[in-house]
Amino acid sequence: MNADECMETIKLTSRGGDSFELPYAAARLAHVVRDANDENDDGDIDSPEDVEILKVNSPCLEKVVEFLKHYHEEALTEIKTPLEDNTFEGNVKQEWYQNFLKGIDQPMLFDLVTAANFMAIQPLLDLTCLKVSCQLMGKSAEEIRQILNIPKLTPEEEETARRDHRWIFDD
């Protein structure tokens, strides 16, 4: 059977043992799901089976499943550089995807980046990495340092950094 037209549902099980059900046709965006089901290059599959995602916790996997279900209905438009804007909303015009990451805290955002990478979901990785990038855009080194809570460079380190970047300041 062709996986794209597969109407059967499967369950993804988190590290905490919680299961989330979704159509296989939506779940297969995650390459880890395809690989677990031995989907071949032509997208043929016998009968889809549940998959354990032991590296992802329950709240994060719930978000991932929410993403997979929606992506199956409305794909994320490709994010191209140079970016049009230095805000997340300015570059992601689709309302659902704007809201998907609205209000989530920093740890959850980084969990999503890691989950997207582990489950090989490229569109989710693109979206979450963009969100992280937008927090750094247009900021000076000092502002970034405050955001990341990184100690100030020693005078020697700063001198090295500026020497590296002499091409910026000097011709």
Partner 1 sequence: MTSKTALHLLALPEEHLPQIISYLSLNDVCQLRLVSAFLRDPRHVHHLWMDEEGENSHNITLGRGIMTSRRLQRMLSIFTNITTLRLYGLQLLDRSAVTLRRDAADRDSRHYLEVLQNATCAQNLECLELLGVFECDPFTSDWGTGSTPSYSIHADVRFPKLKRLAIDGRLYHGELPLIRSLLRSSHQITHLRLGGPIPRLCDFDIEIAIMQFHNNTLEELILDGCCGKIISLEIKSTRLRTLDLSGCKSLSEFQPGSHCPNLEELDLSNCSNLSLDFLKSKFCPRLKVLKLRMNTTIEEIDSADKGGNDSEQQPYLPHLEHIDIRDCPLLRHVSIRSPVLTTAEVRGCNHMQSLTVSSPVLSTLCVAWLYSLENISLDCPVLTSLDLTGCYKLSNKGMKFKCPALQSSGIRNGTNDASDD
Footprint on this chain of partner 1 (rule: CB under 8 A): 79, 81-86, 90, 106-107, 110, 113-114, 117, 125-126, 129-130, 132-134, 136-141, 144-150, 153, 157-158, 161-162, 164-169, 171
In angstroms, give the least distance from the CB of 100 to partner 1.
Answer: 17
Nearest Cα residue to 122 out of 20, 18, 34: 34
Residue 54 or 144 with smaller CB distance to partner 1:
144
In angstroms, give the least distance from the CB of 40 to partner 1.
Answer: 26
Strand partners, 22: 10
In angstroms, give the least distance from the CB of 61 to partner 1.
Answer: 18
CA 59/CA 115 separation, integer angstroms? 11
Residue 42 or 171 with smaller CB distance to partner 1:
171
Give the pair of three-digit tokens for residue 163: 């020497």
92 — phi, psi (to 5°)? -110, 105
Residue 50 or 126 with smaller CB distance to partner 1:
126
In angstroms, give the least distance from the CB of 90 to partner 1.
Answer: 8
